[in-house]
Structure 1
Amino acid sequence: MTLIKKMVKKERRINKAQATIEYAIISAIVAASFLIVMGQLAPEKLDITQKMRNSLNIIIEKVRK
């Protein structure tokens, strides 16, 4: 395989892995928001970044409407 083909193949793998990680994070945030809304999880017990906490709050607001 040429060097360019190898680089393209590696880039695709990295993009797929990154997309999978992002999907897993989004899924976890959505699941946590539903647990919080149902009263099964306390938001202060989550060890997450401020950006994730903001996303969680937005989802919670939309679910409660």
Structure 2
Amino acid sequence: MMKFEIQYDKDIYNKQMDLLFDLACKPKKEYYKNSQYLGFVLLIIGSILFFDRPSFFCFY
């Protein structure tokens, strides 16, 4: 009976995993990082507006 074996090369496997990670996760990571910065800026602007004129949000 013939047995077919493929030799395992750790370096090739690691390079492939790095490539797949860069293709799949890197754009999303950059997008969410930029979105987080935008969220902090909007939070600061909202806090400044609220503390500058707190009566703006009261309806009496």
Report the structure number with the largest CA radius of gyration: 2
Provide runs of 4+ in structure 1 moved above 2 Å.
Answer: 40-44
Mark the runs of 5 or more structure 2 residues left unpaired by the alignment: 1-14
Q: TM-score, normalised by structure 1?
A: 0.49
Q: Percent identity?
A: 7
Q: Does 1:33 align with 2:54?
A: no
Deviation at 1:12? 1.5
TM normalised by structure 2 equals 0.52
Aligned length: 43
Q: Which has the higher helix share?
A: 1
Q: CA RMSD in A?
A: 2.8
Code of the aligned partner of 1:11: C
- The higher-RCO structure (CA 8 Å, 6+ apart) is 1
